[in-house]
Amino acid sequence: MDELKKSDLDEKTIAMSKGLIADAVQKAGSGHPGSAISMTPIVYALYRYVLRHDPLDPKWEGRDRFILSSGHASLAQYVQLFLAGYLTLDDIKGYRTMYSKTPGHPEYGLTEGVEMTTGPLGQGISTAVGFAFASRFESALLESGLFSHEVWTLCGEGDIEEGVSSEASSLAGTQKLGNLFVVFDSNRIQIEGDASITLTEDVLERYKSYGWYTDRVSFNAPSGYKEDVQAFLSAVEKARGVKDRPHFIQVDTVIAWPTPGKMGSEKSHGAPLGEEAVRGLKEELGLDKDKKFQVDPDLLAHARESIKRGEEARKKWEKEFEAWEEENPDKARLHKRMKERLLPEGFDKAIDELEATLSSDPLPTRVSSGKAINAIAGAMPEFWGGSADLAGSNNTLIEGAASFGPKGSGTKQWGECAPGGRIIHFGVREFAMGAITNGILLGSSTRCFGATFLQFVDYERAAVRLSALMDIPNIFILTHDSVALGEDGPTHQPVEHLSSLRAMPNLDVVRPCDAFETCEAWRQIFKKKEASPSALILTRQKVPSLLLSRQKAREGLPKGAYVLKGGEEDEVILMASGSEVSLILDAGTELEKMGIRARVVSVPCMEWFDRQPLSYREKVLPKAIRARVAVEAASPMSWYKYVGLSGNTVCIDRFGLQGSGSENMKALGMTVENVVEKALESLKEE
Ligand SMILES: Cc1ncc(C[n+]2csc(CCOP(=O)(O)OP(=O)(O)O)c2C)c(N)n1
């Protein structure tokens, strides 16, 4: 086939794709046709000519990754997934309907070929940075270029305006991620119309200053609008020649081109174009204006030539992979275990040995967590992570490990960085850290964590939510967990955060009470059968070592709550998490002196407890004991489900104070006397 014919076929396939997009939105009665239509030449070119992917094996490890950051334009991707062979025409017809594979925004785990859930603008492009981290790290860990691939993302003005894209792109520049490619669909239209009302900086200059390679392709040629796929492909080739920087290609487009009355207008952004405009569009495109969901078999065959290309690439990769496996049995074993998400043999032993060293000395749980991280890291080479500039405070440094970064980078303090470095320096970029760690988990079989103060989880919350929605095992380490952090004052003291995190579906919020529970919490985070993310909540201050019963903690922690102290005849239940468990133990002792039998329940993870059978929950919190007090140095909201109408809470429902940790705790009622008083009140109300 000569080039001319090929580009003619491309043009026709693009036209056919646009018709399908317009019809799908029309049929659904809602959706986002505008940018999906005008992005189509780019997405088509990527799937057809650029991406290494194989529709016959969508999860092929060697594939390039494509992320549609403008998730609302999902049809741009769905239609190309159909043309490439991942989806059927019926899937396209099912756009935005219940249980279809083509929901309003792309959803990870639902649709083959969709690498992550997008829709919350800014997160696709930022998570793509994590995919690029993953590829670099995994290649270094397994010492093979087989795990190195390109990461492509397509975004619009909305993504560029969102702050998280700046955070992540700035870090991507510092990291010199040569395998990352961003295509910016610059149509200058967003929901409120002309983007000039909100976005006036020179975006290319901005990316240049981040250290990116930049280029621009304009479909707005002087001779008229031309969707110049060849020009775009040439820009791609040029960009690929630059290996030491991430790439940013701006493509100037006209939204909804060439829909009569709708192109270049926000009217096409988020509503069906209307029957008349769709007919007009089809006429402009040379399609039959009276036919819906037109698919020309020749064009479909042309598009699906990429299957052959993909299959060939995969088979070649697989051959190389087999040879690699043979030559590198140790690495191959590691790879296999990682792929199967199995823990290394020495995992339990590493934690057991650490636990054997724990003394009765009080320790902050963040310090215990740091020890656990290092024990696990020793057994698990695929475990890595970092902090948003708080590594020392979060206790997240993997001892002896290099910092993650390109060869030739580094500082006096951290030494030479390495592509396989296990310490990630995120800078003060909590939201990007959340997105990047999500990308690392989606883009590799490694395990990672990101850390900050609990207070600042609000900055990364939207990424935490996406990890919960995608059901991926991210680990959010959140230290300095209450007003007990002290003199940094109310700006740094979390109050509502625990309850608000617990309100998030599919996120396990784990708040261990001492060194032993912290080690067990780490064990369970890795051992739980669910893939769900975990938030590990840790103290800044020292907490006593509650060596009452390691056996109880070992058995009880995975169940989320367990009786630390108590018996058949208990009259009142005291329950708490984290640093307040020692408080209720003391309160229990006081009550005992008064002749009242108090049951002390440690609640390290409500989500794990709520998953237990009723019989276990009844054993821990028997219905018959209605006198109850929940104690937590945080908002009481999440405890009401356990305390009942006769129960009380000793919690904090106001902002913190500027005193020392112990002064704050006392002033805000986190005292033994207060717990005892509330227990007596509850006993009276029973
Ligand atoms: C974080 C976030 N805020 C708001 C929205 C709602 N929203 C969807 S698309 C859009 C406008 C995006 O403009 P642009 O990226 O230029 O997309 P285009 O108009 O080209 O489709 C907005 C505000 C969203 N999806 N995510």
Cβ of 73 closer than 6 Å to ligand 1, yes or no, is yes
Ligand 1 closest atom vs CA 188: 16
pLDDT, residue 639, reads 98
Least confident of 144-153, 265-274, 278-287, 547-556: 547-556
pLDDT, residue 81, reads 98
Mutate to test the pocket of ligand 1, among 21, 77, 121, 466 (most ligand atoms within 8 A of CB): 121
Query: How far, in Å, from the CA of 148 to the mean position of ligand 1?
Result: 31
One DSSP character per residue, 95-142 reads TTSTT-S--SS--TTTSTT--S---STTHHHHHHHHHHHHHHHHHHHT
Catalytically annotated residue among 150, 430, 607, 632: 430
Is the per-residue pLDDT at 2 higher than 50? no
- Residues of the chain with pLDDT > 70, as a percent, come to 99
Query: How far, in Å, from the CA of 469 to the mean position of ligand 1?
Result: 20
pLDDT, residue 593, reads 98
Reported as a single tens digit per residue, the pLDDT across 350-361 is: 999 999 999 889
User: Is position 266 annotated as part of the catalytic site?
Assistant: no
Reported as a single tens digit per residue, the pLDDT across 188-227 is: 999 999 999 999 999 999 999 999 999 999 999 888 999 9
pTM of the model: 0.98
pLDDT, residue 64, reads 98
Query: How far, in Å, from the CA of 121 to the mean position of ligand 1?
Result: 6
Cβ of 154 closer than 6 Å to ligand 1, yes or no, is no
CA dist 119 and 637 (Å) reads: 30
Structure tokens at 522: 């780490």
CA dist 646 and 393 (Å) reads: 40
Cβ of 187 closer than 6 Å to ligand 1, yes or no, is yes
CA nearest 383: which of 355, 428, 341, 425? 341
Residue nearest to atom 19 of ligand 1 (CA): 190
Reported as a single tens digit per residue, the pLDDT across 575-634 is: 999 999 999 999 999 999 999 999 999 999 999 999 999 999 999 999 999 999 999 999
Domains of the chain: 3-308 (3.40.50.970), 347-543 (3.40.50.970), 558-685 (3.40.50.920)
- Residues of the chain with pLDDT > 90, as a percent, come to 96
Cβ of 72 closer than 6 Å to ligand 1, yes or no, is yes
Task: Compute the mean pLDDT over every residue in the chain, rounded to the nearest whole number.
Answer: 97
DSSP 8-state secondary structure symbol assigned to residue 636: S
Least confident of 211-225, 546-560, 640-654: 546-560
Residue nearest to atom 20 of ligand 1 (CA): 35
pLDDT, residue 1, reads 40
Reported as a single tens digit per residue, the pLDDT across 465-523 is: 999 999 999 999 999 999 999 999 999 999 999 999 999 999 999 999 999 999 999 99
Mutate to test the pocket of ligand 1, among 72, 253, 273 (most ligand atoms within 8 A of CB): 72
In the predicted model, what is the mean pLDDT of residues 31-50? 98
Cβ of 156 closer than 6 Å to ligand 1, yes or no, is yes
CA dist 675 and 680 (Å) reads: 9
pLDDT, residue 550, reads 85
Cβ of 76 closer than 6 Å to ligand 1, yes or no, is no
Is the per-residue pLDDT at 373 higher than 60? yes
Reported as a single tens digit per residue, the pLDDT across 447-476 is: 999 999 999 999 999 999 999 999 999 999
Cβ of 214 closer than 6 Å to ligand 1, yes or no, is no
CA dist 7 and 229 (Å) reads: 8
What backbone torsions phi and psi does residue 383 show, to the nearest 5 degrees? -100, 125
Reported as a single tens digit per residue, the pLDDT across 96-123 is: 999 999 999 999 999 999 999 999 999 9
Ligand 1 closest atom vs CA 191: 11
Cβ of 31 closer than 6 Å to ligand 1, yes or no, is no
Reported as a single tens digit per residue, the pLDDT across 314-339 is: 999 999 999 999 999 999 999 999 99
In the predicted model, what is the mean pLDDT of residues 408-431? 98
